[in-house]
Structure formats: C-alpha cells, structure tokens
C-alpha cells in the first residue's frame, strides 16, 4: 500500500514536468495517471498535490485545465488546505467566466440557433469554428469549474479571503441565464453571508431580535434556524422545528421534513422567498432587516443545507428592548395583503 500511495506523488511530478515541457501527449498520459492513482493516495500526498497542482494551473493548456481544477477541488474535499489552493483556482474560474460570457454573443453572430449547453468532453469542431477555441472550451467546461470552485467556497476561510467576489458574481450572473441553470450553485455560494447581522421583527408580538448568521445558503435553511431560535426558545408563537431538522441545517448530514413558521417579509412589504438567499433581505443601517409575519398557509419542506458540506449557523445575540423594537417597526410597511 505504501508503494501504491507513492505512485500518486510520482504522477504529480510527471504531470508537472510534461506541462512545463509543453508535451501534450505526456501531459495527457500523466493526467490519466493522476485520476487512476488519486484513490489510494495518502493524506500527505493529497495535501502536497493540491498546492502543486493549483500553482500549475496557469501553465496548463485551456483544454485539460478544468480537469486539473477538479482534481485540486477533490484534494480539498479530502482534507487539503482550501486557502492555499483557492487563489489560483478562483483566478482560473474568473478567466473562464470572462471567456464563456462571450459565447452567446459569438454564437448568435455566427448564425444563431439554440445555444448548446455546457457539457462534458470537448466541444466539437462546429462549435469551435463558430466561436473560437478559447471561448468554446470556457463554455464547455463551466460545470467542471463550478464544481471545483465549490470545493473551496464551502470553507468560510476561503469566502473571507475572496477579494474579487463581486467580480465573480457579476461574471457568473451574466452567464447563468443563457447557461440554463448552470452556475446557480456557484452564485449561491458567492452570495453566502458570514458573521453578518440580522434584525428580525415579529410583527404580531411587536418584538425584535438581533441575530448573526454564517454559512446559510438559502432561506429554507434560514427559516428553519429562525424558527428554532425564536419559536423554539419561546420568544414568539409558532411551529417549532424538531431538533433533528435544526441539526441538519447546521452541520449534521441529511434532510429532515419540517413545517414553515413564518412568512418572511421585506421592510417594504415584499416577499422574501424561501427559495432565495439571505442576501435578498434588504440591508438597513448595516444589518439585514427581516419582518416575520404569520404564514398564509401550511407549507413543509425537507430541512437541510443547500450545500451539504458547508456548515451553517444562526445565533440569537439579544432580544431588542421594546423601545428599540418599536423604532425598527416604525420603519417597515404595513402587513402585506393575503
């Protein structure tokens, strides 16, 4: 087994040498070895390989670059340092998003027709002829880059360090509509708020609560945790989620059925959809401001995390005193019509 594990480090070395020698055939052979020998590799080899392969990404030709990014992401999922791997990986993602954004316009300019969806493998010659090699490869490899990026964005340490998150969000947003749902997960991960204050106002009881949220990717997860923190602690009336439903919204694997407790409402009376993200909640004076109204109908869903490997949390920091709660409530619109 020790010998088999050592083969992975050897494959990494062979791949590095082949890429730097600009030898396509040797690079492809070494890349195949990396895939074959990944499974039995030791933790130490995985950790070292992630750093070496991430550093090599700018030198890898555009075609196989996405495959190497996937291996880096897989190394992170097996315990390699996400912070060390993330800069090169997310820089590669930024470049691919920039090139892929040109695909729809070039496709329409070269004759139009239905856009081909990003797919596995290599784009065929007809696609390359219409849009160019770089743009075609970028479009075709979007799913691989998204998967690789999520492996590092699952870690708060990486999300805290991504200085160009708005740039990535804007680039992904330009593509998402044309790519028929691809990049939704990437966008949700880039929208995650960490250590972010939330003020929740319970309209019926005229009470308010200051909370802090981290790693919550969608409002189904937020809704369940809000119900646990507020209804579960007896601060407000309503459906209390089971402890198991709360646990899977924090860090326990799996999904557990739960029922809605509130209607999530924006300060202007608009709906905050469970299907959306906490970033949809308007920011007022540096905090996200959310109004909790009675649910208009019974609704259930499988409680859990949008990203199974991203721990989430919501902490009740304090109950607002009545005067402070009223000041906030004075700033929100009347209850929406049913």
What is the per-residue pLDDT for 338? 54
Q: Looking at residue 1, what is its pLDDT?
A: 42
In tens, the pLDDT along 8-50 reads 999 999 999 999 999 999 999 999 999 999 999 999 999 999 9
Helices 142-153 and 184-191, packing angle to 10 deg: 30
178 versus 152: the higher-pLDDT residue is: 152
The rounded distance, in Å, linking the Cα atoms of 325 and 63 is 57
pLDDT tens figures, 47-97: 999 999 999 999 999 989 999 999 999 999 999 999 999 999 999 999 999
Residue 180's pLDDT is 76
pLDDT at 109 over 50: yes
For the cut 70, the answer to whether the pLDDT of residue 162 exceeds it is yes
pLDDT at 158: 97
Residues 167-180: b if buried by 16+ CB within 10 A, e if exposed: ebbebbebbbebbe
Average pLDDT, the chain: 94
Q: 123 is written with which tokens? A: 């784009």
Domain extents in the chain: 2-191, 196-329
Mean pLDDT within 109-124: 81
pLDDT of residue 48: 96
Output the pLDDT for position 317: 98
The per-residue pLDDT for 114 is 86
When pLDDT is averaged across residues 156-164 and rounded to a whole number, the result is: 93
Q: How many residues does the chain have?
A: 338
Q: Where are the alpha helices (DSSP H) in 39-118?
A: 43-56, 62-77, 82-100, 103-109
From CA 334, how far away is CA 312, in angstroms rounded?
A: 31
- Identify the band that residue 337 occupies on the pLDDT scale cut at 50, 70 and 90: low
pTM: 0.93
């Amino acid at each position: 087994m020790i010998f088999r594990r050592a083969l992975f480090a050897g494959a990494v070395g062979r791949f590095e040498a082949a890429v730097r020698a600009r030898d396509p055939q040797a690079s492809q052979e070494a890349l195949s070895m990396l895939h074959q020998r990944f499974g039995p590799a030791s933790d130490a080899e995985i950790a070292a390989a992630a750093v070496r392969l991430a550093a090599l990404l700018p030198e890898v030709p555009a075609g196989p670059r996405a495959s190497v990014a996937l291996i880096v992401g897989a190394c992170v999922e097996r315990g390699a340092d996400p912070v060390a791997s993330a800069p090169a990986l997310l820089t590669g993602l930024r470049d691919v998003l920039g090139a892929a954004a040109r695909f729809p316009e070039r496709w329409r300019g070269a004759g139009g027709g239905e856009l081909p969806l990003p797919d596995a493998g290599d784009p065929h010659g007809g696609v390359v002829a219409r849009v160019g090699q770089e743009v075609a490869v970028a479009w075709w490899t979007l799913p691989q880059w998204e998967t690789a990026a999520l492996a590092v964005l699952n870690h708060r340490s990486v999300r805290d360090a991504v200085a160009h998150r708005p740039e990535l969000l804007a680039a992904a947003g330009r593509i998402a509509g044309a790519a028929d749902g691809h990049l939704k997960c990437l966008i949700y991960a880039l929208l995650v708020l960490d250590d972010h204050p939330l003020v929740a106002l319970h309209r019926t009881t005229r009470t308010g609560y200051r909370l802090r949220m981290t790693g919550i990717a969608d409002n189904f997860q937020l809704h369940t945790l809000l119900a646990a923190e507020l209804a579960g602690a007896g601060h407000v009336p309503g459906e209390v989620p089971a402890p198991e439903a709360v646990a899977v919204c924090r860090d326990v694997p799996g999904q557990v059925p739960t029922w809605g407790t509130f209607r999530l409402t924006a300060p202007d009376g608009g709906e905050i959809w469970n299907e959306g993200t906490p970033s949809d909640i308007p920011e007022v004076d540096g905090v996200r401001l959310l109004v909790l109204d009675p649910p208009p109908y019974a609704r259930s869903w499988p409680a859990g995390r949008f990203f199974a490997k991203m721990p989430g949390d919501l902490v009740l920091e304090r109950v607002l005193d009545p005067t402070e709660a009223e000041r906030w409530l004075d700033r929100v619109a009347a209850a929406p019509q049913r």
